[in-house]
Amino acid sequence: METIAVIFGGRSAEHDVSIVTALAAIIKPLELTKKYRVEAVYVAKDGTWYWDEKLKDIRMFSSGEIQDFLHRSHPASVQFDGGMTLVKASGIAGRKQSRKIDLVFPAMHGTYGEDGSLMGLLDMAGIPYVGCGTSASAVAMDKVLAKEVAFANNIPVSKFLAFTKADLERQPGEAVKNIENSLSYPLFVKPAHLGSSIGISQVKDATELRHGLEVAAHYDDKVIVEEAVPNLVEVTLPIMGNDRPQPAMLEQPMTQPEDFFDFETKYLQGGKKGKGKAGTKGAQGYSKIPAEIPEEVYVRAEATGVAIYKAFGCSGIARVDMLIDEKTKRVYFNEVNPLPGGLYAHNWNRAGVSNVELVQKLVGFAKERHSQRQALTTTFSTNYLQQF
């Protein structure tokens, strides 16, 4: 039986979302397949790794028991021994317990997890893993870089400007002036690397803009400011696959143009902030599946989503967010999430893919990509050293 390590938590503002993704959408279905031994690897907020069966229970986290557990437990370490092995002290006479891992299923959102850091580590270890690779993850998680990649691939993007945290701290007034000269209100101010709508503000004047920049810079060292798309219809499209991406269903979050989803709305209030009518209950109960847009726009948005997935070099799974101007019917790229919260399993369910099938397919894609990479030649012999 193959052993899969599901790595979740992490030093990210999306730490809690990651726990839900791992336990509900990944570990449970993987175990139900009865094909894999599943190991839960939790990365605490301080970056320490833990590996234990008890970490598969959501009550451990929802009740706050996790703090006691972390105090009592020995941290786990990882050995890269021609693959990957988890190691921890068992607690019985200091004996070491170890488990060789065959495949990793990353379930970390945001910094150090979804941004390519973890994927880089796994690439170095030469172990197959689920989801986008290092470069696609890194590009996708940088909203500025992502927009530039989309633009270079002739995919429309809304007008934007980017600033470093240092710029904003050194000359905040200058940044506001630059923005007001180049872009028109209303604007969105976002941390460049965070997902789950954390630290995002919608601003309508200079005062709000200054505040929004401050908030975004609190979370990230790079901030993007972008123009709002008029007559907005937001849509999102989960996609899976490697060379032949398969889209799920275009989903429409239930917002009005004056609203947008922040973290609380998406994950804590069940999406009740938007003024739209109650729609189909998704994972967070806030969207319509399929999106209620004209068929021609639906088809175009779906094709745009797949084109973006390919342009970014995504593999395994990702979710592409797009913005549609309802009047001009123009589809804009918004962002790519290399690891959709909860894998967007609710959407895949509507597309006819069960949770168990979804994780099995993703494991299959991970193995396929790994085999392809293994077949590549990465070294060659030279006489360079003989010169010395």
Sites of contact with other proteins (CB under 8 A): 28-29, 32, 34, 346, 348-357
- 35 or 210: CB nearest other proteins: 35
* Cβ at position 368, least distance to other proteins in Å: 21
- 94 or 352: CB nearest other proteins: 352
Residue 148 phi, psi dihedral angles, 5° rounding: -70, -35
- 289 or 314: CB nearest other proteins: 289
Instruction: Assess contact for 334 and 155: CB atoms under 8 A.
Output: no
Burial of 123 (0-12, 13-18, 19+ CB in 10 A): middle
Burial of 359 (0-12, 13-18, 19+ CB in 10 A): buried
**Angle value at C-alpha 290, between 285 and 295, nearest 5 degrees:** 150
Q: Name the 3-class secondary structure at 104.
A: strand
**Angle value at C-alpha 277, between 274 and 283, nearest 5 degrees:** 70
- 25 or 138: CB nearest other proteins: 25
- 143 or 346: CB nearest other proteins: 346
* Cβ at position 33, least distance to other proteins in Å: 10
- 117 or 349: CB nearest other proteins: 349
* Cβ at position 282, least distance to other proteins in Å: 11
* Cβ at position 142, least distance to other proteins in Å: 33
CA dist., res. 86 & res. 99, Å (int): 5
9 beta partners: 43
* Cβ at position 25, least distance to other proteins in Å: 9
Token pair recorded at residue 47 = 């970056």
Q: Name the 3-class secondary structure at 357.
A: helix
* Cβ at position 108, least distance to other proteins in Å: 22
